[in-house]
Structure 1
């Protein structure tokens, strides 16, 4: 059963003026998201919006029906269902829970009513949509031009930020699917990061040992993503 909402723990909601934030929170329920739950599928109607608090969600695009690529990651800095700000209630991407935890959830219909009622919410989410568009473009360029080891380092840094912990779960099979490469490619990249004592890896459990070293091993897309968010949400 959903539990009562105690407070906002999502950066988008916390950025709202007090009156708008209080009204919006009254319409949410706090739900537990389970690892590997599918929250949206491409071409399907958006039934709920999610504002993660302690969970995080992979945004995935299918390729030729037999492969997939992660193009985004949503944690407490963002939301799932942003296309509703454009009046579009069809999901463009698949959304898969990568990190179990809590999220604020609201049905799509009352959320659209909140959008119509609150100019502050509209303005905030328009800026966030702009950020998402920039990050999607960055992910496309990253997948095309950067080597697997640097992309894996970026992926692990992004995950650590949203997990709010140095330790989290991620099997080689799952990481390979997210990066759009073969499992052997992820294994080779992860082993290289381990040999440099940047990460520890055992039975699907990943631990960040050297955050600064991992940032140095990552491509510039990690910094670019953070800069895009900082500029867009300032």
Structure 2
């Protein structure tokens, strides 16, 4: 499936949408600022809007009945949320929060569903993205089960780095602990390991990537497979990935 790279958007899905499709629905897109910590969707609640991110990072979070929670996916300019809107589902059990502030194009879920019903090319592109995100979530589950916290943190930093410009990523220790489903002291220890190897620098809620190739080597097989799948499905590589 061939797409023309459209200028004017930072979002990879909008940039990959056929020009005729963009003409059809871009008038319904509203560019907004999305601050850190804003909740974009709630578990089992109707989804009124979809977001195509131009910048920033959102986290898909799953919560247990007893209140424990963990991140299962991240979304930046590579994608949109919620993917339930693509699949014709009115609600899902996840919550989505902004992890790093940014900007997004907002569209009514009902309008998006109407566009998808009429436009096979856009529907196919977004369905491919839904598959790519599902693959990312599957590898997150695998990594949580088999990789050491140091490697999981390296993977997560790399995934965030793919979705931002420059080397600095705004991440607090508290948020990293929630996203990795570990205690804050475990995050601090893992950050010290990566800093000791001169792969990153961490201070006051900002992580700076110092050695991208070294960080990828340290993460080993925790990083790379879902990134390859994204490229296969969408036709472009993620951000700053060197795999």
Q: TM-score range by the shorter chain?
A: over 0.9
Distance in structure 1 (CA, Å) of the matches to 2:195 and 2:29: 41
Alignment of 1:50-199 (within 5 A): 50-199=51-200
After superposing the two structures, state which structure 1 stretch, 163-172 or 72-81, moved more.
Answer: 163-172
- What SS is found at the alignment partner of 1:163? coil
Instruction: Give the TM-score normalised by the residue count of structure 1.
Output: 0.94
Distance in structure 1 (CA, Å) of the matches to 2:212 and 2:40: 30
Number of residue-to-residue matches in the alignment: 229
- What SS is found at the alignment partner of 1:30? strand
Instruction: Give the TM-score normalised by the residue count of structure 2.
Output: 0.90
Contact 1:99 1:163 in 2 (8 A): no
Instruction: Tell me the equivalent position of 1:210.
Output: 211
Distance in structure 2 (CA, Å) of the matches to 1:45 and 1:221: 34
Q: Spell out, residue by residue over 1:19-55, the C-alpha distance to the aligned partner (whole angstroms, 9 max, x if none).
A: 1022222110000000111111111111110000112
Contact 1:128 1:232 in 2 (8 A): yes
Distance in structure 2 (CA, Å) of the matches to 1:163 and 1:63: 30
What stretches of structure 1 of length at least 5 have no aligned partner?
1-5
Distance in structure 1 (CA, Å) of the matches to 2:72 and 2:123: 24
Distance in structure 1 (CA, Å) of the matches to 2:222 and 2:193: 20
- What SS is found at the alignment partner of 1:121? helix
Q: Spell out, residue by residue over 1:63-96, the C-alpha distance to the aligned partner (whole angstroms, 9 max, x if none).
A: 2342211111101111102112221010331101
Distance in structure 2 (CA, Å) of the matches to 1:183 and 1:102: 29
Q: Spell out, residue by residue over 1:87-118, the C-alpha distance to the aligned partner (whole angstroms, 9 max, x if none).
A: 10103311010111110111111111111121
Distance in structure 1 (CA, Å) of the matches to 2:206 and 2:132: 30
Runs of 4+ in 1 over 3 A off after TM superposition: none
Distance in structure 2 (CA, Å) of the matches to 1:96 and 1:26: 26
Distance in structure 2 (CA, Å) of the matches to 1:28 and 1:47: 14
Is the alpha carbon distance of 1:24 and 1:9 closer, same or farther for their aligned partners in structure 2, counting shifts above 3 Å? farther
Instruction: Tell me the equivalent position of 1:3.
Output: none
